[in-house]
Amino acid sequence: MAMHSRVATFKSLATAIKIATRPGGPSMVDRAQAVPRLVKAVRSGEYTGTSVGRLLMMLGAAGYLVSPVDLLPEGILGALGLADDAMVGSWLAAQLVTETEEFLAWERSTGRGPGHGAAVPGEVVDDGRGPSA
């Protein structure tokens, strides 16, 4: 992998870490819980902030990291063999943070995420308790 590409990967990882750890931002649990909603919203066409292709690349990267098949085997190349895993892992982490950040912001702006009821803004909802005093 070219030096420029490696530097860009680590810069995007550093940016993702800054975003993921900022005060008041979504927790890693919130981000992990958002991934299935993100996939569903992208597949249905409801969310257009990323593509099915990008999600498939992320899935492929995750598969590569857990696969016993390795392009640069650690057993033969030692630390150099870890470089490809580190690059793929860095790219994947950066993508997960970036994509979930944008998706969670979209959910908040559209009133879609967890904790948002089915009430439509501007409609009166009767809770059955009668008039309030």
Number of domains in the chain: 1
- Residues 111-133 have pLDDT tens digits of 988 866 555 556 666 667 766 65
What pLDDT score was predicted for residue 54?
Answer: 97
Task: Indicate whether 55 belongs to any domain.
Answer: yes
Task: Indicate whether 2 belongs to any domain.
Answer: no
68 vs 26, higher pLDDT: 26
Task: Indicate whether 57 belongs to any domain.
Answer: yes
- Residues 26-43 have pLDDT tens digits of 888 899 999 999 999 999
Q: Give the residue from 12, 2, 36 showing the smallest Cα distance to 89.
A: 12
Task: Indicate whether 119 belongs to any domain.
Answer: no
Domain residue limits at 102: 22-109
Q: How is residue 121 annotated by DSSP?
A: T
What pLDDT score was predicted for residue 124?
Answer: 64
Task: Indicate whether 10 belongs to any domain.
Answer: no
Query: What is the CB-side half-sphere exposure of residue 10 using CA atoms within 13 A?
Result: 10
What pLDDT score was predicted for residue 47?
Answer: 97
